[in-house]
Structure 1
Amino acid sequence: MKNLSDQKKGIFLSLIGILIITPDSLFIRLVKINSWDLVFYRGIIPFFILLIGLIIFYKKNFFKAIFIIGYAGLINALIVALTNITFIFSLENTNVANTLVMLSLAPFMAAFLSIFLLKEYPKKRTWIAMFLCFIFVLFIFNDSYQSGRLVGDFFGFITAFLVGASSVVIRIGKLANFLPSLMIAKFFTMLFTIFFVKSLYLEGADIYLVPIMCVFFVTIPLAFLTLAPRYMPAHEVELFFVLETTLGPIWVWLIIRETPSLETIIGGSLIISTLLIHTILELKKPNLKKAN
């Protein structure tokens, strides 16, 4: 890694992080515990892993690394904690494909929020892409409404909004290291959900599925994806998330044969295509201009 350029380090961290996280939705489907118990475990296990890792890395400077994130880091942690909850509830109420398609809208959510919070105005092509994706989302929503999956799609849409909000807050706070904020987010997740936990007892396959999921498909990939923006622009990192939107439903289809509707496949393909074309164009030129 030492001999790699910053760009290559960013690509490596992003690619490995996304490839590792793609089976996450499958494992959420495989476990038997209820949603609140699952969110609690997805908070407490990553929290302690990150806590131990940061203590080992920072040693005497651990508390300094925590306090330096400031209010922006705390707000980001709160947003990420809410994201952890809405993501699970989305998957519990709709197809994996629907949730991940909604999540792919996060870059456009960030662009929309940047207008109000950063006074940055997207270019014309971004507005066009946002409008097209909005139409495609309505197309998917209509199918979900008829199929009784609208609640899950709505939570997926909220998750995308929160992910976009997180990226904007990080930019506002100019955080150089997001891992302490991520650790606090997992603590908040644990704190929020502990009041709704029905049982912490794991049985059957959950005894090993839950820890494996929380360590390998939550903590490790999120750490990689959190470090990636240190070496390459955030919008380039977001391009790799298209892989999760594509591979996540494939894992679920291969193992448990969950098949998305034709409307989701069509709408999702159009959203992913729009996102890819837009991102490729954005990588060629700066995508935002400051308001006068």
Structure 2
Amino acid sequence: MTSSAKAVLPAVPAVPALGSERVGALLVLLSAIVWSSSGTLALFLADLSSWTVVFWRTLWAAAFLLGFMLWRDGWPETVRMFRRMGVPGVAVAVCFGIAGSCFVIAVSLTTVANIVLMQAGVPLFAALLAFLVFRERISLATWIAIAAVIAGVAVMVSDSFGSSGSFAGNALALTIAVVFAVATVITRRFSHVRMTPANCLGMVLAALFAATQAPSFAVGAGDFALLAAFGMLNLGLGLALFASGARLVPAALAALLGTMETVLSPIWVWLIHGQVPASRTLIGGAIVFCALLLHLGLEFARQRRPQKPGTTGVNLPQ
């Protein structure tokens, strides 16, 4: 690494106080609980065009995030944050825009269980991407967990190989996991850039693209209320909670708490909509979930151990 490259990398953040860490853990847990309602809300809107849903959902999410920044930081600082996010922020915005669009389309083509279980592998995909792009060292335990996730995903989607529609939905779900991993790696390399404006910009980009694809923007009063909740209370609030809390807790703990979305989302869909996951989805998902929990648990334990004098800890994505 050159000296100029070292100069732009942020310093290792200080360890937060225990009280702040508990607040951060609560915020991240709340974000996962909020996001776990995505599949349930999407299925209530199944009669609408997917692109119409994407348009209104991301538009409401952008409005919520903008209002959140104005309330938290004020107008002058909000403008400065947008100006300072630069190319990394734009890249993250594109990733979130793609993810926000793909989710709604994927729900119409495959099961919610398939989507959220693939998303459970985001932390491991991010580790693999960081190794391939930045040559960051990955432990043997992480490699084993990555292999287990790949095997679990293969089992999970194997039942859909004969169905083009289901396979397309699973491909979109995998796309969501990959772009989130890309966004995680970018955020790690440019952790001095506040990414809430990038989240907002990503939602605007997704809404603009959906506007070119949606057959109509007209929706009934009931659907409009659901779309507002889907955008503001589900997507927007979830992003705001996670962005605020993840800065206060170790990354491994944040990722571990985030898996609550994976646990709850299929349960809400099963209880409310009666969409029972297929047996291969349950088997593959169990492999993914167990591998993720084991890996993150070991990683969190490693982070909690005091470092030896003269060594430098490696930060996981924040």
TM-score, scaled to structure 1 = 0.93
In 2, Cα distance between the equivalents of 1:67 and 1:78? 16
**Letter of the 2:30 counterpart:** I
State, as a whole percentage, how many aligned pairs show the same letter: 24
Distance 1:134 1:74, change over 3 A: same
- Cα separation, 2, equivalents of 1:235 and 1:38: 33
Residue 63 (structure 2) aligned to one of 48, 57, 62: 48
Deviation at 1:146, TM superposition (A): 3.8
RMSD across aligned positions (CA)? 2.0
Q: Look up the equivalent residue of 1:72 and give its one-letter code.
A: P
Comparing 97-106 with 148-157, greater Cα deviation is found at 148-157
Q: Is 1:21 aligned to 2:35, yes or no?
A: yes
- Aligned match of 1:138: 154
Mapped to 2, the partners of 1:94 and 1:147 lie a distance apart of: 10
Are 1:97 and 1:248, in contact at CA under 8 Å, matched by a contact in 2?
A: yes
Aligned to 2:8: none
Kept in 1, the 8 Å contact 2:41–2:230? The answer is yes
Q: CA deviation at 1:118?
A: 2.7
Q: Which amino acid aligns with 2:55?
A: F
Shift of 1:76: 0.5
Structure 2 distance, partners of 1:147, 1:254, is 26
Once the two structures are TM-superposed, the CA of residue 116 in structure 1 deviates from its matched residue by: 2.7
Moved more, 53-62 or 96-105: 53-62
Secondary structure of the structure 2 residue equivalent to 1:62: helix
For 2:192 and 2:278, locate their aligned partners in 1 and report how far apart those are by CA, in whole Å. 40
Counterpart of 2:268 in structure 1 is 251
Runs of at least 4 residues off by over 3 Å: 286-290
1:58 Cα deviation from its structure 2 partner: 2.3
Q: Indicate the residue corresponding to 1:72 in structure 2.
A: 88
Instruction: Identify the residue that residue 106 of structure 2 maps to in structure 1.
Output: 90
Deviations 1:39-93 (A, max 9, x none): 1112111112222332333232221111111211111111110111122222211
Matches within 5 A, 1:164-243: 164-203=181-220, 205-243=222-260
Does residue 153 (structure 1) correspond to residue 170 (structure 2)? The answer is yes
| Distance in 2 of aligned mates of 1:205 and 1:130 | 43
**Gap change, CA 1:110 and 1:16, over 3 Å in 2:** same
| Contact preservation (8 Å) 1:120, 1:288 | no
- Partners of 2:78 and 2:116 in 1: CA distance: 35
More deviation, 243-252/135-144: 135-144
Q: Please give the secondary structure, in 2, of the residue aligned with 1:46.
A: helix
1-structure distance, mates of 2:251, 2:83: 23
2:295 matched to 1:281? no
Does the C-alpha gap of structure 1 residues 175 and 187 become closer, same or farther in structure 2, counting only changes over 3 Å?
farther
Q: How many residues align?
A: 288
Matched residue, 1:105: 121
Mapped partners of 1:134, 1:166: distance in 2: 20
The answer to whether the 8 Å contact 2:92/2:186 transfers is: yes
Q: Partners in 2 of 1:176 and 1:74 — Cα distance?
A: 11
Structure 2 unmatched runs, 5+: 1-16, 304-312
Measured in 1, the distance between the counterparts of 2:100 and 2:153 equals: 22
Match of 2:53 in 1: 38
> Could you tell me how far 1:4 is from its partner in structure 2?
6.7
Residue identity matched to 2:35? I
> Would you say the 8 A contact 2:89–2:193 is kept in 1?
no
1:108-147 CA-to-partner distances (Å, cap 9, x unmatched) read 1100110133321210011011111111211112112245
Take 2:53 and 2:251, find their aligned partners in 1: how far apart are those partners? Answer: 29
Deviations 1:157-216 (A, max 9, x none): 111011111100111112452211111111111122111111111126313211122121
Q: Which moved more, 1:200-209 or 1:105-114?
A: 200-209
Secondary structure of 2:212's aligned partner: coil
Instruction: Summarize the Cα distance change of 1:69–1:251 in structure 2 as closer, same or farther, 3 Å threshold.
Output: same
Q: 1:95 to 1:46 in 2, by over 3 A?
A: same
